[in-house]
């Protein structure tokens, strides 16, 4: 298995060197399928016979290359079916489309945390803070927190561009929150507030990637922001495989092997991406594992890019989230030993505030000259949205025991987290009951990533339609049940294996119906294609 994995990894690196391809010989035309018939982009009757400046054959090829399956082809089809149901309710054998493709909790009925929204509303419209009626509509501690935050904003102007790293007072709050979480100090000057974690990832890729000779180690399967960003910035993705047989385990020996292989091919590996808890795989790393990873990065001179956006989504009692910052500091490693960038977001956890676009990166272990460059790049966009900045500070310093809102806040939080844990288990069990399907436990994050053993007949049917087998399965699932999931090829998988990613986010009362529909579909699919 290991030899197979390394052999295929080698060929993957080779392919990615030429023209980043990601196990998609059948998907290469997927985006052409998305658009209307591939007509030639020729100007009609203009005097110039040149192609118009912004035509498919003249736009940046890196744009064409990069892919993002989470909102890719399957979603476009889902939207089309949705429109058909809207006009003709019995057009399909289901009443509604269930979007299980994207970690977007509030679009599926999850409620926001009341305290956070109170504070944000008051900061959006501070005029009402002076009115007596406000006391009756808002909790006292939300009013207090809003005042505190507004006092940290020059002129209390929430509509002004802030410092390009984000409002200082909010960064102080976040740094204090990091310290409370980890037991090790954090410097507000290390924090860059961004419009979600994704722009921060892009910024780091931009800094790190000089050419296709620069490689970034990424887990397979991975959240395709990384593959897309690397492609956009012209670098090379160096895959390391997580081991499905051991609960998506991360072996440092695999990291070493992939590193050596890529170096022997002339790639300078610059950074290691670790997603913890994992997406799409959901595993929570054991502390010993994390120590080995830190050691590896230190020895090899790699920047550790720690995507920790699911840090509050841990569902199993035997695992706990430890930030890489905490782990490295507990090993006695400081600024001089390890370059570490930690990403956090307001989109996940129990707060699920995707639409706000709030997040930050904490940047440690870089020289002042590099940090200046990071600041400079951040400044071109001036700053991230203020409301998102405020929310990031609230997420990192929520109500405490004794605060007026603490009880309602913790009830909301615990309600959401325990429900997520239940849904994770229910869906995991449901998938494991399906013929030819095995599903690892979701220890954390928001997804299940079951593996399906597709019969040969199904694979042939997929090929006939010029689709990857897992994309074919997902499309059939969608058209039969209205359930939208993302094919595993969108995340990467060991060649010859097939998966799909399904979120655990539909409301609990909908889960039984989803399980039934899915089970029935799968049975009839297997009946159709069983050898």
Q: Which is nearer to another protein, 160 or 180 (CB)?
A: 160
Q: Restricting to residues 288-307, which ones interact with another protein according to CB under 8 A?
A: 297-303
Q: Rounded to an integer, what distance in angstroms lies between the CA atom of residue 524 and that of residue 51?
A: 49
Structure token pair of residue 389: 């900045």
Does position 187 interact with another protein (CB under 8 A)? The reply is: no
Among 16, 198, 342, 493, binds another protein (CB under 8 A): 198
Question: What is the phi/psi pair of residue 374, to 5°?
Answer: -60, -45
Does position 366 interact with another protein (CB under 8 A)? The reply is: yes
Structure token pair of residue 190: 């290390």
Q: Which stretch binds another protein (CB under 8 A): 34-42, 243-251, 322-330, 438-446?
A: 34-42
- What one-character-per-residue DSSP string does 111-132 give? PPPHHHHHHHHHHH-GGGGG-T
Shortest distance (Å) from residue 228 CB to another protein: 5
Q: Rounded to an integer, what distance in angstroms lies between the CA atom of residue 530 and that of residue 455?
A: 6
Q: Restricting to residues 456-515, which ones interact with another protein according to CB under 8 A?
A: none
What are the E-state strand segments in 6-118?
98-99
Q: Rounded to an integer, what distance in angstroms lies between the CA atom of residue 63 and that of residue 75?
A: 20
Among 253, 379, 418, 497, binds another protein (CB under 8 A): 379
| Beta carbons of 419 and 429 less than 8 angstroms apart | no
Q: Which is nearer to another protein, 135 or 524 (CB)?
A: 135
Does position 36 interact with another protein (CB under 8 A)? The reply is: yes
Shortest distance (Å) from residue 198 CB to another protein: 6
Size of the site for another protein (CB under 8 A): 113
- Taking the mean position of all CA atoms in its chain, how far away is CA 228? 12
Q: Which is nearer to another protein, 434 or 505 (CB)?
A: 505
What are the E-state strand segments in 261-339?
268-275, 303-307
Binding flags for another protein, 138-157, as an x/- string (CB under 8 A): ----------------xx-x
| Beta carbons of 194 and 359 less than 8 angstroms apart | yes
Q: Which is nearer to another protein, 407 or 528 (CB)?
A: 407
| Beta carbons of 486 and 449 less than 8 angstroms apart | no
Shortest distance (Å) from residue 116 CB to another protein: 9
Q: In whole angstroms, how far apart are CA 234 and each of 200, 294, 335? A: 17, 26, 29
Q: In whole angstroms, how far apart are CA 502 and each of 12, 257, 477? A: 25, 31, 12
Does position 159 interact with another protein (CB under 8 A)? The reply is: yes
DSSP state of 397: S
Q: Which is nearer to another protein, 1 or 370 (CB)?
A: 370
Does position 120 interact with another protein (CB under 8 A)? The reply is: yes
The closest of 148, 145, 123, 143 to 398, measured between CA atoms, is 145
Q: Restricting to residues 89-108, which ones interact with another protein according to CB under 8 A?
A: 102, 104-108
Q: Which is nearer to another protein, 272 or 285 (CB)?
A: 272
Does position 171 interact with another protein (CB under 8 A)? The reply is: no
The closest of 398, 438, 431 to 417, measured between CA atoms, is 398
Does position 415 interact with another protein (CB under 8 A)? The reply is: no
Return the number of other C-beta atoms located less than 10 Å from residue 124's C-beta: 14
Among 1, 180, 382, 411, binds another protein (CB under 8 A): 382
Does position 407 interact with another protein (CB under 8 A)? The reply is: no
Among 160, 246, 496, 520, binds another protein (CB under 8 A): 160
Does position 1 interact with another protein (CB under 8 A)? The reply is: no
Binding flags for another protein, 38-67, as an x/- string (CB under 8 A): x--x-xxxxxx-x-xxxxx-xxxx-xx-xx
């Amino acid at each position: 298995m290991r030899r197979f994995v390394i052999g295929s990894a080698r060929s993957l690196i080779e392919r990615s060197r030429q023209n980043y391809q990601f196990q998609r010989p059948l998907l290469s035309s997927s985006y052409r399928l998305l658009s209307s018939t591939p007509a030639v982009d020729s100007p009609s009757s203009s005097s110039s016979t040149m192609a118009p400046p912004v035509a498919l054959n003249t736009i940046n090829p890196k744009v064409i290359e990069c892919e993002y399956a989470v909102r890719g082809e399957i979603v476009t089809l889902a939207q089309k079916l949705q429109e058909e149901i809207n006009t003709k309710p019995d057009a399909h054998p289901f009443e509604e489309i269930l979007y299980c493709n994207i970690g977007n909790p509030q679009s599926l009925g999850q409620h926001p945390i009341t305290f956070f929204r109170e504070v944000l509303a008051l900061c959006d419209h501070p005029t009402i803070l002076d009115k007596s009626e406000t006391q009756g509509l808002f909790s006292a501690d939300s009013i207090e927190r809003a005042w505190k935050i507004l006092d940290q904003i020059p002129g209390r102007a929430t509509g002004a561009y802030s410092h390009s790293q984000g409002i200082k007072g909010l960064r102080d709050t976040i740094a204090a929150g990091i310290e409370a979480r980890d037991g090790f100090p954090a410097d507000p000057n290390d924090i860059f507030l961004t419009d979600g974690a994704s722009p921060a990832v892009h910024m780091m890729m931009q800094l790190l990637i000089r050419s296709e000779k620069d490689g970034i180690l990424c887990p397979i399967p991975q959240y395709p922001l990384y593959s897309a960003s690397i492609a956009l910035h012209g670098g090379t993705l160096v895959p390391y495989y997580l081991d499905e047989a051991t609960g998506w385990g991360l072996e440092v020996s695999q990291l070493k092997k992939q590193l050596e292989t890529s170096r022997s091919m002339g790639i300078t590996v610059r950074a290691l991406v670790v997603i913890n808890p994992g997406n799409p795989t959901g595993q929570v790393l054991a502390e010993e594992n994390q120590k080995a990873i830190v050691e590896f990065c230190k020895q090899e001179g790699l920047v550790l890019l720690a995507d920790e956006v699911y840090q509050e989504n841990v569902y199993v009692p035997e695992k706990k989230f430890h930030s890489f910052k905490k782990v490295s500091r507990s090993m006695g490693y400081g600024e001089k030993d390890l370059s570490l960038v930690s990403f956090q977001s307001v989109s996940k956890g129990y707060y699920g505030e995707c639409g706000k676009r709030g997040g930050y990166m904490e940047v440690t272990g870089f020289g002042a000259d590099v940090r200046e460059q990071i600041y400079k790049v951040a400044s071109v966009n001036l700053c991230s949205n203020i409301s998102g900045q405020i929310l990031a500070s609230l997420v990192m310093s929520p109500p405490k025991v004794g605060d007026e809102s603490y009880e309602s806040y913790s009830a909301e939080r615990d309600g959401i987290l325990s429900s997520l844990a239940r849904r994770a288990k229910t869906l995991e069990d449901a998938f494991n009951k399906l013929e030819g399907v095995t599903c690892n436990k979701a220890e954390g994050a928001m997804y299940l990533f079951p593996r399906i053993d597709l019969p040969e007949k199904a694979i042939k049917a997929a090929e006939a339609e010029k689709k990857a087998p897992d994309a074919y399965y997902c499309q059939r699932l969608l058209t039969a049940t209205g359930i939208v999931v993302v094919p595993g090829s969108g995340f990467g998988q060991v060649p010859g294996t097939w998966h799909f990613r399904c979120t655990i986010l539909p409301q609990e009362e909908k889960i039984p119906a989803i399980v039934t529909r899915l089970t029935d579909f799968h049975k009839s699919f297997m009946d159709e294609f069983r050898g």
